[in-house]
Amino acid sequence: MNTPFFLLFFLSVTALVPLLIDYYVYRNWRRYVQHRVQARREPTLQWTLPLYRVTLVLMPLVAPLYFALSNWYDVEPKLLRWAIMSAWGVYYAPKGLIAIGLGVKDSIRGVQWLFAWFQERLGAEEPVGAGNAAAERSQPLDLSDMRGHTRRDFLRDVGWGAASVPFVVVGYSLFRTLYDFQVRRVDVPIQGLPRALEGLTIAQLSDLHAGSFFSERPMHDVARLVQDLQPDLITLTGDYVNRDAAELDRIAPALQQLSAELGVYGCLGNHDHYANVADVEARVRAQTSIDLLVNTHRTLEIDGAQLHLMGTDNTGFNQQFGDLHAATDGMATSAHGDDVQVLLAHVPTFWDERVRPDFPAIDLMLCGHTHGGQVGLEVGPVQWGLARIAYDRWAGCYREPTTGHPTRSEQFLYVNRGVGTVGPPLRMGIRPEVTLLTLHRA
């Protein structure tokens, strides 16, 4: 598929699908307004219809035209991009939820219509001369009495009143949940963990996406959260920017505040390659305290024990830059398994595709990339995000049995939900995450 055709297809779908959803909601709203005006003489609602018709036509065109006619990925002007994506999120996300509710209602009405149609057909087939009793039985059920009418009016009012709830939810998610950073504490039980590493803490950040921040403040809040945790080690697993290395200037002052006794380390992500990756790497090294591990490793000596920390370049999302053989080259591992290996790699699929089949000695891989989908539901045992559609390992901690290691029986993966956003500046049910992992002896 060539690029112009793909772009035309993308823009057409971007405009058409929201338009169809919005038109379906509009028709139901128009029916409701006409009923209210006729039954209760409320002409004020009539003014909502021409206004709705204007937004119905204009809103599907705003974002596609903006993406088609501007360098939307540029670092400036952030305000215009933020305003357009926010308007789209607030306008269309609730419409999708409302359309689902209206679809259920119309499905029920369709079943009722079919029932009435069959009832009429059966009534028409009654033999002539069957008498008044048969004629009465053939009449469809009449629900148009005053009490039923009032009940239906009440349900209509309640239904459209409830339709405002998605707008409140999306608005709250846009302006509150977006920067409602959550600290998640995770215990990692490693078999044969050296006693010197018992209780070692690793803070993880991922997917900062500097271009998604409108100011420096959110990243400063994140840095304070991390420093308050007092971790032994700090890691960052890629995607420092969206599309331009210059975006890093917005978060570099906060990243400079990060410090830990064993150091601050990071790897690269796919968005860092969408920008000039050499420029991103140079800026990270020059402007922050992060030691970037690009297909290389560091061995940390801790009270006689060794912690091998590896980092790969990105592999995944149509990129193949990671090289685990290069990352482990020259690494002096213990023949008795009394050391620990931790890998920083951006995309979770790397764990199943490369790590588990060929590197059973890697105890823990830290990654991000999925953002948890940014939209989902995480309440008690109910854990679901949009990222789950595309990724089996979409958020949280995973453990699988391993073979070929002298002392270990399991390998661990942790998928961070990210700090920033891509696409609409929106998080619903999936809060941005700061992770604190603690190593324990299993």
How many helices and strands, by DSSP H and E, does the chain display? Answer: 13, 14
Instruction: Return d(Cα 273, Cα 314) in angstroms, integer.
Output: 8
Helix (H, G, I), strand (E, B) or coil at 127: coil
Q: In degrees rounded to 5, what are phi and psi of residue 378? A: -130, 90
Among residues 38, 156, 177, 170, which one has the least CA distance to residue 94?
Answer: 170
Which pLDDT belongs to residue 147? 45
Longest dimension (CA), the chain: 103
Q: Are 265 and 366 in contact (CB under 8 A)?
A: no
Using the Cα atoms of residue 364, residue 367, residue 373 and residue 375 in order, give the sign of their dihedral.
positive
Instruction: Return d(Cα 165, Cα 127) in angstroms, integer.
Output: 53
Radius of gyration, alpha carbons of the chain: 29
Instruction: Return d(Cα 107, Cα 103) in angstroms, integer.
Output: 6
Only one residue has tokens 């050296």, namely: 194
CB proximity list for 403: less than 8 A, separation 6 or greater: 360
Instruction: Return d(Cα 191, Cα 338) in angstroms, integer.
Output: 10
HEC assignment per residue over 71-109 = CCCCCCCHHHHHHHHHHHHHHHHHHHHHHHHHHHHHHHH
Q: Residue 340 is encoded by which pair of tokens?
A: 């620990």
Domains present along the chain, CATH in parentheses: 3-172 (no CATH), 182-441 (3.60.21)
Among residues 227, 212, 204, 224, which one has the least CA distance to residue 412?
Answer: 204
Which pLDDT belongs to residue 56? 85
Using the Cα atoms of residue 128, residue 132, residue 133 and residue 139 in order, give the sign of their dihedral.
positive
Separation of CA 53 from chain center: 31
Which pLDDT belongs to residue 169? 60
Helix (H, G, I), strand (E, B) or coil at 19: helix
* Beta bridge partners of residue 375, listed in sequence order: 428, 429
Which pLDDT belongs to residue 161? 54
Instruction: Return d(Cα 411, Cα 327) in angstroms, integer.
Output: 18
Which pLDDT belongs to residue 172? 59
Q: For the chain, which ranges sit under pLDDT 50?
A: 1-3, 75-76, 130, 133-138, 140-149
Number of Cβ within a 10 Å radius of residue 253: 14
